[in-house]
Amino acid sequence: QTGHRPKSDRLAPRVLALVAEGRSYRLIGRELGLSKNTVADIVKRHRATLLPPVADHCAVVTIRPA
């Protein structure tokens, strides 16, 4: 769902830092007062900004033996 997400937008840097430390989404959510689904959504939105869509950066290469 798009729209205003003031709490999750504000906490996104902290969520991402805790994920980088290896914490589970459930523990992060408990610590920050978010659901594990909100934590997962924050991570998903962040990952979507890191890479262009798959079709834009993939190529098919065929290798044939010499």
What are the phi and psi torsion angles at 65 (to 5°)? -65, 145
Return the structure tokens found at 43: 């991570």
Q: Kindly give the confidence (pLDDT) of every residue in the chain, 66 residues in length, as a single tens digit, with 9 standing for 90 and above.
A: 556 677 888 999 999 999 999 999 999 999 999 999 999 999 999 988 886 665 555 556 667 877
Instruction: Extract the tokens encoding 50.
Output: 């890191």
Q: What distance in Å separates the CA atoms of residue 1 and residue 47, rounded to the nearest whole number?
A: 16
8 Å CB contact between 25 and 36: yes
Whole-model pTM: value is 0.68
